[in-house]
Amino acid sequence: MTATKTPNPKTLKRIRTLSKLLDSAIAIPGTKYKIGLDPIIGLVPAVGDYLSLILSGYVIFEAAKLGAKQDTLVKMALNLLVDSVVGTVPVAGDLFDVAWKANEANLKLLEQDLPDQTDLDNASIDWRPLILILGAIALVILLGGLLTLWLLKLVFNALA
């Protein structure tokens, strides 16, 4: 049976709102540029990166529930991988988070994908690639946090 499934408007609105909140909710006075909460949350060492990962991962999870294609979901996860890996670098990662708007890129991918969806009743998502990518992101964030703590310990020991 071939059927066209209409995406849930409430879910799409929730994804749009979260993406805007994370990537472009706050206008920088005197410019046309906006930043979101993602780079601000990322300022909290290690914990902020995990919180950003959880919020951005939620967007991908909801996209999968809406019926996004496997290829789209993997592209979305790779955007999140870039955002998370570079985001773990102290200072430079926070600046990168200001410029790289992974959630808005993922929203665009989702919106391009959904109108083409047909035969969604028979579609299935292979979660393994997404789990591997999200697991790799979590591991990189953990290792980045441990590296940061180790470097801080070296600095403080050298100063003592």
pLDDT in tens, 32-74: 889 999 988 888 876 888 888 889 989 998 998 888 888 999 8
In one-letter notation, the amino acid at residue 69 is K
For residue 67, count other CB atoms closer than 10 A to its CB. Answer: 19
In one-letter notation, the amino acid at residue 159 is L
CA 12-15-21 angle, 5° bins: 140
pLDDT at 123 over 70: no
Q: Give the integer Cα–Cα distance in Å for 41 and 1.
A: 45
Record the pTM.
Answer: 0.72
- At residue 101, the pLDDT reads 93
Model confidence at 121, pLDDT cuts 50, 70, 90, reads very low
CA 22-117-84 angle, 5° bins: 25
Burial of 137 (0-12, 13-18, 19+ CB in 10 A): buried
Q: Any idea which residue has 């879910």 for tokens?
A: 11
Q: Report whether 97 contacts 49 (CB < 8 A).
A: no
Model confidence at 116, pLDDT cuts 50, 70, 90, reads low
DSSP single-letter state for residue 43? T
Q: Any idea which residue has 């046309």 for tokens?
A: 32
Burial of 53 (0-12, 13-18, 19+ CB in 10 A): buried
Segments in 2-127 forming alpha helices (H): 9-24, 37-41, 47-66, 70-87, 92-99, 102-113
Model confidence at 81, pLDDT cuts 50, 70, 90, reads confident
